[in-house]
């Protein structure tokens, strides 16, 4: 397989795994909360789901590297508006996701913190990743 095609496939696979893992965690938490199960937040960070969290972090860390490599191989200038917008959006989403993980860890340990901000960070992170993926998919050159 061609080098560029392989890199594109791995980049899309990493982005898809992040979105699918986040959606799976969100659906699992929603379902557990709807069924009235206690300690839902703590269960999301325990060992059975450690693989999902590690997979998401690995994919989130690899996306900027593989994205830059793709842009370099294709030869696009880094000053294109859609590329800059998606990079800034991804950076904001990464900070939001890190803050979200800190808040989820506080909830897991039983430290009281506002659930509204946590939900807002989760929604912003998901919307940011989807918008960044949409910009990359559309490539309005």
Read off the pLDDT of residues 4-60 as tens digits, 9 standing for 90 and up.
888 888 888 888 888 887 777 777 777 776 777 656 555 655 544 666 777 778 888
Average pLDDT over the chain, rounded to an integer? 79
Q: Give the whole-angstrom CA distance, residue 68 versus residue 137.
A: 15
H helix and E strand count, the chain: 5, 0
Q: Give the whole-angstrom CA distance, residue 85 versus residue 26.
A: 26
Predicted local confidence at residue 23, as pLDDT: 79
Residues ≥6 apart with Cβ < 8 Å to 21: 52, 55, 56, 59
Look-up: residue for tokens 């929604």?
123
For the question of whether the overall pTM of this predicted structure is more than 0.85, the answer is: no
Tell me the HSE value of 116 on the side-chain side, using a 13 A CA sphere: 0
Predicted local confidence at residue 61, as pLDDT: 85
């Amino acid at each position: 397989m061609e080098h560029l095609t392989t890199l594109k496939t791995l980049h899309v696979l990493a982005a898809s795994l992040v979105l699918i893992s986040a959606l799976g965690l969100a659906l699992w938490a929603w379902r557990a909360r709807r069924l009235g199960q206690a300690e839902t937040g703590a269960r999301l960070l325990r060992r059975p789901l450690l693989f999902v969290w590690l997979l998401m972090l690995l994919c989130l860390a690899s996306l900027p590297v593989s994205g830059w490599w793709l842009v370099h191989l294709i030869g696009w200038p880094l000053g294109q508006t859609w590329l800059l917008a998606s990079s800034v959006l991804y950076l904001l989403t990464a900070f939001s996701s890190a803050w979200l993980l800190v808040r989820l860890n506080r909830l897991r340990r039983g430290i009281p913190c506002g659930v509204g901000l946590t939900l807002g960070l989760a929604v912003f992170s998901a919307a940011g990743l989807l918008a960044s993926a949409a910009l990359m998919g559309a490539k309005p050159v």
